[in-house]
Amino acid sequence: MSRTIRPAVALTAGLAALLLAGCTAPDGGTEGFAGALPAKNVKSTPPPNGPYVALGDSYTAGLKIAPQVGEPKGCSRSGVNYPSLVAKGLGLPAGQFQDVSCSGARTGDLTGAQETDHGTNPPQLDALTSATRLVTVGIGGNDAGFMEVVKECAKENLVDAVKGIVGATRASSPCRDHYASGGTDEVQRKVDAAGEQLGRILQDIKHRSPQARVYVIGYPTLLPADPASCRSVLGKAVAAGDLGFLSEKEQQLNSMLKRRAAGAGAVFVDAAAPSAGHDMCAGEATRWVEPPFPAPGLAAIHPNAKGQEAVAAVVLKAVRG
């Protein structure tokens, strides 16, 4: 499908505005399609029959993907998000499956109530009991501030684009320069802090549901390995160097999730490797993640229905082991 390319400045401004929706971040990875890295103390046992509890943010909830179901409405849960598809694939009856994920969630919202624009989501961990046998956790991107990083990159590129208009020399990677200006990697610091929070959450899950098998779900790939392939979607609004910078930050986030899962005796499920080539810069028929200007009714920089189906397939493969 043909796509109208907006002027660089307008597109970057639009990117900055569209990235304000609550979500999480994403990342690349190097594991194979199976995507699951079982911890050493996870025994090979038959797939759990439930109860199954799904925890997470908007990448789990399925922001704006129809049909939107459940309460509160502000969590924007989809009836065809990956937890729902996993429950269906395992043949779990409704009473054996509870999805408490919520768009905009941070790790603190797993132990405390989360206020949304349309209602309050109770602490997500309250859904866990000693009877719970399966838990999936998709969280961390909001704690790491990944979307704020993307928004900041859009702003830095907008400022740099204006420099180009007035004839000043443009930077090759203005966002990377911004985050390196203090001499430390501020993004890595936030990712590490998110990891500390996640480590405590995983221990809390183990305490509440000691018999549960726990799976930490990684984020899908947002950007292609070759930044040049994004030109048809982003034009020259974002420097190629900054697309590489964002990819690096995604990889740092997923690497942290992998380490924390292993440290807690959980299983990390890699969503990045299978989504390579299905990033937001792929064609409309191919992509699993929507670009800054998404298809009508869908959320920018978030998985679409195909993306949720793909993650469900990887999770099911991991659970069935």
Summarize the confidence of residues 251-273 as an average pLDDT: 97
Q: How many Å apart are CA 293 and CA 33, to the nearest integer?
A: 28
Choose the catalytic residue: 58, 78, 209, 247: 58
Give the pLDDT confidence of 1-48 residue by residue, as tens digits. 333 333 343 344 444 433 333 344 333 333 333 345 554 454 556 778
> Does any domain span residue 239?
yes
Please give the structure tokens belonging to residue 54: 């799904």
By three-state DSSP, how is residue 99 classified?
A: strand
Mean pLDDT of the chain: 82
Choose the catalytic residue: 76, 103, 247, 302: 302
Is residue 275 part of the annotated active site? The answer reads no
Is residue 118 part of the annotated active site? The answer reads no
Give the pLDDT confidence of 85-108 residue by residue, as tens digits. 999 999 999 899 999 999 999 999
Residue 184, number of CB atoms within 10 A of its CB: 10
> Does any domain span residue 3?
no
> Does any domain span residue 22?
yes
Helix, strand, coil percentages in the chain from 3-state DSSP, rounded to 5? 45, 10, 45
Give the pLDDT confidence of 114-159 residue by residue, as tens digits. 999 999 999 999 999 999 999 999 999 998 876 777 767 766 665 5
pLDDT at 33: 32
Report the candidate in 97, 82, 103 with the shortest Cα–Cα distance to residue 22: 103
> Does any domain span residue 150?
yes
**139 Cβ contact list (under 8 Å, min separation 6):** 24, 55, 56, 57, 60, 105, 106, 107, 110, 198, 201
Q: Exposed, middle or buried, 229 (CB in 10 Å: 0-12/13-18/19+)? A: middle
> Is pLDDT above 60 for 319?
yes
> Does any domain span residue 2?
no
Summarize the confidence of residues 274-286 as an average pLDDT: 93
**296 Cβ contact list (under 8 Å, min separation 6):** none
Total domain count, the chain:
1
The domain in which residue 216 lies consists of: 9-320
For tokens 């905009």, the residue is: 104
Distances (CA, A) of 88 to 85, 108, 193, 306: 5, 29, 35, 16
> Does any domain span residue 1?
no
> Does any domain span residue 4?
no
CATH number of the domain to which 242 belongs:
3.40.50.1110
